[in-house]
């Protein structure tokens, strides 16, 4: 990852071009959730642009730790006795976009193709839109075959809950 002008160059250049991330996978599950938030894009980006502030974005988080190693910047998230590891792929301060992949989680390992991008889009001085888009190319190992629709509904609900939690976190600061 390279820093240039306050911007991280993506590890996966296709993230910016919206091309398939992992060609050759049998499936691609796409989850898109969008929320308008009555706060400025700068206020929202203050949380989303800080990779360590995942607890302000997602409820039920017990602990968040950052680690810099050979895999890049990693976020270790403890949630209900489970550990999830995210790898930062893109942190674009100019466009207010952060992208990360799940490296490890229950039933998810490297190469599963679980990549999320969260983008903050200004609408006015008093509001913005946040788009959370996730692409999954391999379902968790513990999920029964043929459960894609159930998993997609659950994952959509989780992302919506995260954005609602973000809005609540920001509203509580007023």
- pLDDT tens per residue, range 131-165: 999 888 777 667 777 777 888 888 899 999 999 99
Both structure tokens of 155: 């994952």
Residue 22 covered by a domain: no
Residue 98 covered by a domain: yes
| Distance between CA atoms of residues 7 and 37, nearest Å | 24
- DSSP state letter for 153: H
Number of domains, the chain: 1
Largest CA distance in the chain: 48
Residue 13 covered by a domain: no
Residue 158 covered by a domain: yes
CATH number at 83 reads 3.30.530.20
Segments forming the whole domain that contains residue 164: 3-8+27-171
Say what the pTM is.
0.80
Residues 31-87 have pLDDT tens digits of 999 999 999 999 999 999 999 999 888 888 899 999 987 778 999 999 888 899 999
Both structure tokens of 59: 């409820």
Residue 14 covered by a domain: no
């Amino acid at each position: 990852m390279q820093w240039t002008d306050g911007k991280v160059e993506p590890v996966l250049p296709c993230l910016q071009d919206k091309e398939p991330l992992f060609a050759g996978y049998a499936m691609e599950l796409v989850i898109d959730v969008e929320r308008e938030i009555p706060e400025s894009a700068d206020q929202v980006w203050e949380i989303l642009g800080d990779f360590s502030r995942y607890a302000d974005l997602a409820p039920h988080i017990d602990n968040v730790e950052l680690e810099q190693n050979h895999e890049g910047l990693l976020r270790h998230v403890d949630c209900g006795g489970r550990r999830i590891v995210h790898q930062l792929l893109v942190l674009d301060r100019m466009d207010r976009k952060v992208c990360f992949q799940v490296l490890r989680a229950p039933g998810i390992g490297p190469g599963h193709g679980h990549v999320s991008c969260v983008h903050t889009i200004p609408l006015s001085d008093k509001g913005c839109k946040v788009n959370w888009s996730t692409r999954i190319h391999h379902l968790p190992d513990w999920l029964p075959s043929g459960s894609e629709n159930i998993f997609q509904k659950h994952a959509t609900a989780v992302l919506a809950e995260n954005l609602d939690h973000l809005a609540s976190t920001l509203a509580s600061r007023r």
